[in-house]
Amino acid sequence: MAVSGRANNRDEMMAAVWKWLPWLSFALAIVPLPLIFGILYFNTTTPDAVAFFLALAVATVALGSLLAIIVLFVMLFLKRRWFRRFRNRLAEDGITADEVTWFYNELTSAERKALAQLDTNHPALADAFRETLGARLTATRLIQKTRKEQLNVERRILRARSLSGADTSELIEDLQRDHNLLEGVRNEATSRLAQAKARLQSIEAVASRRLNHLETDPMLRRLSASQSQLPIAMEIAALEQEILRELDQGKPEIPPAKLNAP
């Protein structure tokens, strides 16, 4: 028997079986009889037998399809019930980081997307994100459970108050204490849920900050290098202008009279 609150090899094997069993049952319900009559149809030469097996093949396809659909819905219902009970057992002592994968359908689309990105870019942060997701899922389930129990207690209080001819004051007080206790648990779980959601956002912010730094740091270094040094062509051009300016300044001036002499 499986240990309460923990998944063992048998649970993993059953989960794998239930993953494919509905579709395997669907195929087994629809394929065999039409296949048998189809083989008989192609291996029969008598016209009456050919028509007979062809009619049976067509009829079994229709009936098999209807039966397969019914079997598929039944198997999907049983699969959903098994996984619900399995997840409830896992959540009895809190949901750990390793068990989050069994509660994937209870995650929001944003949480699934963030977890996938962290698994790809920041495995260490992904582990912290899974642990916090476990706390978020545990708090959410505890809130739902206490709310359900509170409703049951409220119904018991109403039934106790509706009794006539009996002193139910002590019973009502006991039920009210139970209600107050559940209210305290629900408030504590609500606080823990808010903390878990805040931590999830913090982890996402850290991951986004690190990712942006990795993306922009090389660009910034390249930009700083390009701004701190002039391009080689501009340096060469500036050097040529400096040389020409020095040559112009070093030329001797020729008197106008010598320029006009024959």
Q: Are 11 and 86 in contact (CB under 8 A)?
A: yes
Integer Cα distance of 179 and 224 in angstroms: 65
Integer Cα distance of 108 and 117 in angstroms: 14
Integer Cα distance of 204 and 63 in angstroms: 53
pLDDT (0 to 100) of residue 241? 73
pLDDT (0 to 100) of residue 228? 52
Integer Cα distance of 39 and 108 in angstroms: 50
Element containing residue 225 per DSSP (H, E): helix 169-228
Q: How far is CA 161 from the centre of its chain?
A: 47
> What token pair was written down for 50?
């050919």
Q: Are 97 and 131 in contact (CB under 8 A)?
A: yes
Integer Cα distance of 231 and 226 in angstroms: 8
253-257-260 Cα angle (round to 5): 110
Please provide the size of the chain in residues: 262
Taking only the tens of pLDDT, the chain with its 262 residues reads: 344 556 667 777 888 888 888 888 888 777 777 777 777 777 777 777 777 777 877 777 778 788 888 888 988 899 899 888 888 888 888 888 888 888 988 898 999 998 998 888 888 888 889 999 999 999 999 999 999 999 999 999 888 888 777 777 888 889 899 999 999 999 999 999 999 999 999 888 888 776 555 555 555 465 455 545 545 555 666 666 777 776 666 655 545 554 444 4
pLDDT (0 to 100) of residue 214? 54
pLDDT (0 to 100) of residue 218? 59
Q: Are 154 and 179 in contact (CB under 8 A)?
A: yes
Helix, strand, coil content of the chain in percent (nearest 5): 85, 0, 15
Residues 14, 17, 18, 20, Cα dihedral to 10°: 160
**SS3 (DSSP) at 46:** coil
Reported pTM: 0.65
